[in-house]
């Protein structure tokens, strides 16, 4: 059986020809990463023993071995980051494997013009990720005491007999929760829309749960932005300004980047 | 094409910007080179629309994952986290009671269970 080809990313052949390719260690920690030219597109790959890196084995690693996942995710990330400092990289997802070079070439050829367009689109731009967190309690308090619907409901409840008050208060709590979510979304959307003004393209991803983010605050927004290098500074300044204005209200912002353009390279 | 010099010179794998806190530094200064959390990397490197689907043999543990990717892997990360914390899927009696009370409240039925 052939070796599998682990594909890190695609770069324009023109750029690959302009400089020596760095010496990088492959996914298995022993082999080298090398280039494979397909016309104007150069694939950056390493070989993986198909017996060792079989689908079954990979599943086992993913399900049972957090250390393996961490090590390999960092390896993928660091490799693509290094490449993106040297080339215009169309990054591939973690663990993108092809059966052999022929299947990789066929895949690239069938997406040839899309890949070339993507190079043009991402050239000179950076991907940035912004996660917005919110201390629910502060905003909840604010929502709870400034929303006329909630105020009216509260006044109505106070007139009820004690027994009914208990259940109605529970219902009111649920209403407040719903209003809170709505308010968080509304505020986050406004920020996103404002930041999108600096970006060539922006998207919204799903929020990560508490447990995954490891943060005490709830994630209110998970946005990604493709920003021209010349606009990165004003983009970050704008985030900083939002942070300053909103910190006291329980909001905080985590910007990470620059990332390779993972979210803006889809050509399927 | 030419790669801009500042990125080529950066030479550092990544930087992360935390904007909370009271530091009065310039923005550039506040961009620190920090080790980034695994979850932030996974959030990015897994959550990409699959670029090339044809002929792809495996992508993180199987063909299905090529399409399901993030959710599935995140789910498995989540279960690993839970397993590591040793709380798995079991819930405490306190949590059970809380859920029961919520159900009773939600159905607005009188509580037939005596505490």
ipTM: 0.84
Per-chain mean pLDDT for chain B: 48
Together in a domain, A30 and A85: yes
- Please give the interface size between A and B, counted as residue pairs whose CB atoms are below 8 Å apart: 188
Together in a domain, A101 and A81: yes
Using CB atoms, pick whichever of A80, A96, A256 lies closest to residue B36.
Answer: A256
Contact yes or no for B46/B73 (Cβ under 8 A): yes
CB contacts of B49 in chain A (<8 Å) are 263, 266, 268
For residue A77, what are the domain limits? 4-123
Please enumerate in sequence order all residues whose Cβ is within 8 A of that of A115, keeping only pairs 6 or more positions apart, or say none. Answer: A10, A41, A90, A108, A267
The half-sphere exposure of A235 on its side-chain side, counting CA atoms within 13 A, is 30
Together in a domain, A131 and A256: yes
Together in a domain, A249 and A137: yes
Together in a domain, A132 and A213: yes
Together in a domain, A20 and A86: yes
Domain end residue (candidates: A101, A123, A145): A123
pLDDT of residue A216: 80
Contact yes or no for A115/A41 (Cβ under 8 A): yes
Mean pLDDT for the stretch of residues A20-35: 94
Residue labelled with tokens 């993986």:
A48
| Whether the predicted pLDDT of A167 surpasses 70 | yes
Domain end residue (candidates: A123, A154, A181): A123
| Whether the predicted pLDDT of B68 surpasses 50 | no
Together in a domain, A156 and A29: no
Q: What is the pTM of this model?
A: 0.73
Together in a domain, A106 and A158: no
pLDDT in tens, A36-80: 999 999 999 999 998 888 777 776 776 667 778 788 888 999 999
Strands B16-18 and A251-259: antiparallel
Other CB atoms within 10 A of residue A54 CB: 15
Together in a domain, A44 and A119: yes
pLDDT in tens, A177-231: 999 999 999 999 999 999 999 999 999 988 887 767 777 888 999 999 999 999 9
Say which residue, A138 or B47, is predicted with more confidence: A138
Together in a domain, A118 and A142: no
Using CB atoms, pick whichever of A170, A209, A267 lies closest to residue B51.
Answer: A267
Mean pLDDT for the stretch of residues A141-164: 86
Rounded CA gap, A51 and A47, in Å?
12
Is B44 in Cβ contact with A259 (below 8 Å)?
yes
Residue A84: C-alpha distances to residues A20, A44, A167, A263 (Å): 14, 12, 58, 14
Domain end residue (candidates: A93, A123, A153): A123
| Whether the predicted pLDDT of B35 surpasses 80 | no
Residue ranges with strand state E in A110-263: 125-134, 199-204, 218-228, 251-259
Strand, coil or helix: what is A131? strand
pLDDT of residue A65: 74
Structural domain count of chain A: 2
- Choose from A60-69, A179-188, B22-31, B33-42 the range with maximum mean pLDDT: A179-188
pLDDT of residue A218: 87
Say which residue, B26 or A85, is predicted with more confidence: A85
- Percent above pLDDT 70 for chain A: 96
Secondary element (H or E) of residue B42:
helix B38-45
pLDDT of residue B65: 30
Q: Mean pLDDT lowest for which of A15-19, A103-107, B73-77?
A: B73-77
Taking only residues 42 to 61 of chain B, the set having a beta carbon closer than 8 angstroms to any beta carbon of chain A reads 42-61
- Closest Cα partner for A36 from A92, A86, A83, A104? A104
Taking only residues 74 to 113 of chain B, the set having a beta carbon closer than 8 angstroms to any beta carbon of chain A reads 74, 76-78, 80-82, 84, 105, 108
| Whether the predicted pLDDT of B83 surpasses 80 | no
Together in a domain, A142 and A210: yes
For residue A236, what is the nearest residue in chain B, using CA coordinates?
B27
Domain residue ranges in chain B:
5-107
Together in a domain, A102 and A170: no
């Amino acid at each position: 059986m052939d070796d599998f080809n682990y594909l890190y990313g695609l770069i324009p052949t023109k750029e690959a020809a302009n400089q020596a390719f760095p010496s990088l260690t492959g996914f298995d920690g022993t082999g080298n990463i090398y280039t494979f030219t397909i016309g104007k597109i150069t694939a950056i790959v390493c070989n993986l023993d198909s017996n060792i890196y079989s689908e079954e084995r990979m599943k086992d690693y993913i399900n049972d071995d957090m250390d393996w996942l961490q090590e390999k995710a960092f390896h993928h990330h660091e490799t693509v980051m290094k490449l993106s400092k040297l080339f215009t990289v169309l990054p591939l997802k973690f663990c993108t494997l092809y059966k052999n070079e022929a299947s990789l070439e066929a895949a690239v050829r069938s997406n040839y013009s899309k890949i070339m367009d993507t190079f043009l689109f991402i050239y000179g731009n950076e991907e940035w990720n912004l996660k917005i967190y919110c201390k629910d309690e502060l905003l909840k308090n604010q929502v709870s005491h400034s929303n006329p619907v909630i105020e009216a409901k509260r006044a109505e409840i106070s007139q009820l007999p004690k027994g009914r008050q208990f259940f109605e208060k529970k219902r009111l709590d649920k209403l407040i929760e719903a209003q809170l979510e709505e308010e968080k979304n509304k505020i986050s959307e406004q920020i996103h829309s404002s930041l999108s003004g600096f970006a060539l393209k922006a998207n919204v991803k799903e929020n990560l749960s508490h447990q995954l983010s490891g943060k005490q605050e709830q994630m209110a927004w998970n946005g990604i932005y493709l920003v021209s290098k010349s606009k990165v500074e004003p983009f970050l300044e704008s985030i900083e300004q939002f942070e300053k204005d909103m910190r006291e209200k329980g909001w905080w912002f985590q910007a990470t980047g620059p990332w390779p353009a993972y979210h803006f390279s889809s050509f399927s | 094409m030419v790669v801009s010099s500042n990125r080529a010179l950066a030479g550092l794998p990544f930087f992360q910007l935390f904007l909370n806190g009271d530091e009065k530094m310039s923005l550039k200064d506040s961009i620190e080179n920090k080790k980034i959390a695994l979850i932030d990397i996974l959030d990015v490197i897994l959550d990409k629309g699959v670029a090339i689907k044809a002929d792809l043999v495996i992508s993180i543990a199987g063909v299905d994952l090529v399409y399901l990717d993030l959710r599935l892997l995140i789910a498995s990360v989540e279960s690993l986290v839970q397993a590591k914390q040793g709380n798995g899927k079991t819930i405490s009696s306190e949590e059970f009671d809380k859920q029961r009370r919520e159900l009773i409240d939600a159905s607005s039925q009188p509580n037939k269970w005596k505490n």
